[in-house]
Amino acid sequence: MSTPHEIVVLGGNFAGIGLVHYLFKITIPSLQKLDPAKTFHITLVTPNTDLFFKIGSPRALINDKQIPESKILRPLSEGLSKYKPEQLTLAQALATSLDASKRTVTITPVGSETTKDLPYDSLFIATGTTSASPLWTFHPDPSLTSTALKALHTSLPTAKTVLIAGGGAVGIETAGEIAHFYPSAKITLLSGAAQLLPNSPPVLGPRAQSYLETHAKVEVIHNLRVEASDLSATGATVTLSDGSTKTTDLYIDATGGKANTGFLKADWLDGTKRVLTRDAYFRVKGNGSDDVEGVYVLGDVTAGSANTAMVLDAQTPTVASAFAVDFARKAIGVEAGEKKNPGLLGGLVGLVFGKKAAAPSLVEFKPMKDTMLVPVGPGGGVGLIMGWRFPSFLVAKVKGKNFLLELVDPLLTGDKWKA
């Protein structure tokens, strides 16, 4: 057996976990059919030990009964313990720098100041974004997500005023949930733009606003942003973009996140600090002089990302195909799509599996476009499926009922990928 090919995956949530399963279930077996002597080891570097199904957060923040925390924070071990130590190592750490010339990532284990250099043969960057509030993404201390959910469970029942900043899907869903479950609270939603859902087809935002305003105590305000917030034990005071201040019992920041790329050189990144790609298969572009062979990116941290989990259904097979093609060319000596003389061992594998070994091919990236579901409370909401309007009652049925919790298990276990 050869020395294992070391694959390092940075970031262990939607993109990273999905990728690890995809590599073990589909990509690695296909490469081993081509050359059974090749072995692989994956190191998953991530600070969290749970999968965070953040899609459920707007309902889970209401109380611990609607969606118990244990349904959206699930131990990674439930999905990863099936892999042996010689296949997978979980490093509970943050990537803190990268040396492309040495092909190493420096990682800092959670709770430690001692760093460690991790060599890689192939590297996948899936570090996502960090939102101001840990309600929507993990923070470097992942336990803050649970703390933030619990804090709202305590404070929401007595809050008379709630201010939410952010007119995207997360802000709308959160306002809709609070309006439904705490109808006596006065809710102010600041879109921060000229309308809700400013980056979506223009009909959706006003429609979402009219659903929100069926609740007498919801007010939606446009073109006003929160510039600063001062939190205290009894509430918050926010400074707004028109210079005024506002006090509120509860302030929820639902504005977007910042890309987790502080460990990369600035010239690998676009204007939003997301990782630039050099082709449609998510190979990292780099800066023209650094060695970026075998370096790939996926998930929200990708330049131009749609910032959805759904896009990963298409992006994961595509980026894995780029890795497979690059590995087959470099380590096995076959070009994409080429048939390989299987040799004695490969021939036996072919006999057993009844298949000829073929070199991998690139998989085109074909995400489902113009699709989004934004519940406004459990009873309805706005949505588009491939650009077509999705009726409110179907938004409620598909997402509003349980916030897509049925997707957690297949993601966590890898069952979503069919070999």
Beta bridge partners of 162: 187, 250
Closest separation in Å from C-beta 28 to ligand FAD: 20
Q: How far apart are CA 254 and CA 168, in angstroms?
A: 8
Closer of 27 and 57 to ligand FAD (Cβ):
57
E-strand ranges in 285-334 read 295-297
Can you tell me which residue has the tokens 């009726």?
A: 391
Closest separation in Å from C-beta 62 to ligand FAD: 13
What stretch of H or E contains 69?
Answer: helix 69-72
Can you tell me which residue has the tokens 């490093």?
A: 91
Q: How far apart are CA 322 and CA 300, in angstroms?
A: 18
Token duo for residue 325: 């093609």
Closer of 16 and 414 to ligand FAD (Cβ):
16
For residue 400, count other CB atoms closer than 10 A to its CB. Answer: 27
Angle between helices 312-327 and 14-22 (to 10 degrees): 50
Q: Which residues lie near ligand FAD (CB under 6 A)?
A: 10-16, 45-48, 54-55, 57-58, 94-95, 126-129, 136-138, 170, 260, 263, 299-301, 307-310, 373
Residue type at position 213: E
Q: What are phi and psi of 228, to 5 degrees?
A: -155, 155
Closer of 250 and 319 to ligand FAD (Cβ):
319
Can you tell me which residue has the tokens 């040799």?
A: 343
Closest separation in Å from C-beta 270 to ligand FAD: 16
Q: How far apart are CA 394 and CA 101, in angstroms?
A: 52
Closest separation in Å from C-beta 343 to ligand FAD: 38
Residue type at position 60: A
Closer of 58 and 79 to ligand FAD (Cβ):
58
Closer of 263 and 365 to ligand FAD (Cβ):
263
Closest separation in Å from C-beta 41 to ligand FAD: 18
Closest separation in Å from C-beta 332 to ligand FAD: 30
Beta bridge partners of 118: 105
Q: How far apart are CA 41 and CA 152, in angstroms?
A: 41
Closest separation in Å from C-beta 277 to ligand FAD: 14
3-state helix, strand, coil in the chain (%, to 5): 30, 25, 45
Task: Give which of 12, 10, 142, 31 is closest to 77, Cα–Cα.
Answer: 12
Closer of 95 and 303 to ligand FAD (Cβ):
95
Closer of 13 and 30 to ligand FAD (Cβ):
13
Closer of 17 and 324 to ligand FAD (Cβ):
17
Token duo for residue 222: 């446009």
Supply the DSSP symbol for 404: T
Closer of 31 and 45 to ligand FAD (Cβ):
45
Closest separation in Å from C-beta 23 to ligand FAD: 15
Closest separation in Å from C-beta 197 to ligand FAD: 13
Task: Give which of 223, 172, 221 is closest to 200, Cα–Cα.
Answer: 172
Task: Give which of 175, 177, 140, 137 is closest to 52, Cα–Cα.
Answer: 137
Beta bridge partners of 50: 75
Closest separation in Å from C-beta 50 to ligand FAD: 9
What SS3 class is residue 383? strand
Closest separation in Å from C-beta 305 to ligand FAD: 8
Closer of 30 and 316 to ligand FAD (Cβ):
316
Closer of 57 and 209 to ligand FAD (Cβ):
57
Q: How far apart are CA 103 and CA 218, in angstroms?
A: 53
Q: What are phi and psi of 29, to 5 degrees?
A: -55, -35
